[in-house]
């Protein structure tokens, strides 16, 4: 039995939907950051699936995936630093009570 591109696209769609729901509905900053990472993983699955099934000779999708993973690692580091800074000021990591970030 061979797994086709449809299975990978469905998995990516489910992961992206769960990440979007988590990013919109959660109040905690760490939970929102985790939801954003889940959405990034779904995008990486799409990159790999299209690279494997549409252009198997070219490695462009895999290079984009590695680049996206590096960007995600930097995003996590910056996001956690911001969460720690916000927590030190407000003594809470909930996003609903923060009005200091408004310009």
What is the count of structural domains for the chain? 1
- Under 8 Å between Cβ of 83 and 95: no
Name the residue range of residue 39's domain: 5-90
pLDDT band at 19 (very low <50, low <70, confident <90, very high): very high
The arithmetic mean of pLDDT across residues 71-99, rounded, is 78
Give the CATH number for residue 33.
Answer: 1.10.287.3510
- Under 8 Å between Cβ of 16 and 43: yes
Residue 39 placed within a domain: yes
Angstrom distance (rounded) from CA 100 to CA 75 = 21
Residue 35 placed within a domain: yes
pLDDT at 27: 80
Q: Is residue 93's pLDDT more than 70?
A: no
Residue 99 placed within a domain: no
pTM: 0.79
Q: Is residue 101's pLDDT more than 70?
A: no
Residue 98 placed within a domain: no
pLDDT at 9: 94
Q: Is residue 38's pLDDT more than 90?
A: yes
- Residues constituting the chain: 103
């Amino acid at each position: 039995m061979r797994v086709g591109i449809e299975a990978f696209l469905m998995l990516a769609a489910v992961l992206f939907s769960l990440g979007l729901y988590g990013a919109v509905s959660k109040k905690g900053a760490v939970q929102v950051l985790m939801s954003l990472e889940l959405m990034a993983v779904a995008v990486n699955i799409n990159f790999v699936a299209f690279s494997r099934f549409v252009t198997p000779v070219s490695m462009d999708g895999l290079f984009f995936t590695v680049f996206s993973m590096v960007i995600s690692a930097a995003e996590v580091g910056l996001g956690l630093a911001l969460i720690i800074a916000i927590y030190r000021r407000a003594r809470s990591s909930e996003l609903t009570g923060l009005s200091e970030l408004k310009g």
